[in-house]
Amino acid sequence: MPQVTLNNGVQMPLLGFGVYKVAPEQAEQAVTDALAAGYRLIDTAAGYENEEGVGRAIAKSGIPRDELFITTKLWVQDHGQETAKPAFERSLDRLGLDYLDLYLIHQPFGDYYGAWRAMEELNREGRTRAIGVSNFYPDRLIDLITHNKIVPAVNQIETHAFFQRTDEQKLMVEYGIQHESWGPLAQGGEGFFDNPVLVDIARAHDKSVAQIALRWLIQRDIVVIPKSVRPERMAENIDVFDFQLTDEEMARIATLDTGRSPIFDHHDPKSVEWLSAARFNT
């Protein structure tokens, strides 16, 4: 599996497996199947409420810990300098791990400054090899960088052919932050799998639309974490390193950008109210 090097020298797989919206009772089997298919980056979150299933799959896999790259995330209700560390310990306990490879602030709301200071301490203590953020738009990302000591290693944001985030990626490159895509297949919305451009390019390579969409992101040096509970889809999604999109194909896909999210608007007041009020068993 190709790797990217984060701004602190840590190596991270370019493609991994995400478990967003994987039910807690399905998580163990899904991650077991993903590990069997060759995935070594597993991305979960306290807010997904499936860390325990992920942990059981890791424990039963027999794969050496240093061959895995495990990410989880801190939810808004636990933001704050005094509350972030206990939340981190609870995630570690559910996962059955001694350390994390990457710990992310899940949403840019609440006292995420206090949370970041606690995460900086966790990073210095070696409890998490890298720290980063998720869903941070440029203004909040730069504000966080300006007023803290450690620059986030990763910003995990919605990124796919319909919402391409090219200007934000340029900014992240400037600051040495790795761009990671959640929702790389747009969660199948807005006719993603029937899009004529993607279908045409898929036929030209004898690949699926999903494989084309993932390959396009990978060629932009973006880490991807597609999700599936079907082993055949897992195998398909990881099989994207035996072909290359041409510059012309990359440019055709670039024309699909709508400049907006078809999934979630972090600037909508109602969305912010929901995220800030949501409580999980973290």
DSSP string, 183-201: STTGGG-TTGGG-HHHHHH
Confidence category of residue 160, pLDDT binned at 50, 70, 90: very high
For residue 122, the model assigns a pLDDT of: 98
Residues 157, 35, 122, 48, Cα dihedral to 10°: 50
**Which carries the bigger pLDDT value, residue 46 or residue 275?**
46
pLDDT of residue 154: 98
282 pLDDT above the threshold of 80: no
The gap from C-alpha 190 to its chain's centroid, in whole angstroms, comes to 21
CATH of the domain at 193: 3.20.20.100
pLDDT band, residue 194 (cuts 50/70/90): very high
Strands 102-105 and 154-158: unpaired
Q: State residue 263's pLDDT score.
A: 87
pLDDT of amino acid 262: 86
> How much is the pLDDT for 170?
98
Residue 142 falls inside a structural domain:
yes
Using a pLDDT cut of 90, give the percent of the chain over it.
Answer: 91
Q: Is residue 95 part of a domain?
A: yes
| Residue 274: predicted pLDDT | 84
Task: Establish if 155 belongs to a structural domain.
Answer: yes
Average pLDDT in the chain: 96
Q: Which of 39, 48, 103, 112 is labelled catalytic?
A: 48
| CA gap 153, 146 in Å, rounded | 14
Residue 242 three-state SS: coil
Domain membership of residue 188 (yes or no) is yes
Could you tell me the pLDDT band of residue 235, with boundaries at 50, 70 and 90?
very high
- Give yes or no for residue 281 having a pLDDT over 80: no
pLDDT in tens, 82-113: 999 999 999 999 999 999 999 999 999 999 99
Expressed as residue numbers, the domain containing 214 is: 3-277
Is pLDDT at 119 greater than 80 in this prediction? Answer: yes
Task: Tell whether 282 is covered by a domain.
Answer: no
pLDDT (0 to 100) of residue 176? 97
Residue 93 lies in a domain: yes
> What is the total count of domains within the chain?
1
Residue 174 has pLDDT above 80, yes or no: yes
16 falls within a domain = yes
Residue 268 lies in a domain: yes
Evaluate whether 43 touches 71 at the Cβ level (below 8 Å).
Answer: yes
Question: What mean pLDDT do residues 260-275 have?
Answer: 87
* pLDDT tens digits for range 9-53: 999 999 999 999 999 999 999 999 999 999 999 999 999 999 999
Return the pLDDT at 149: 93
Closest-CA residue to 20 (of 137, 184, 215): 184
Known catalytic residue: 48?
yes
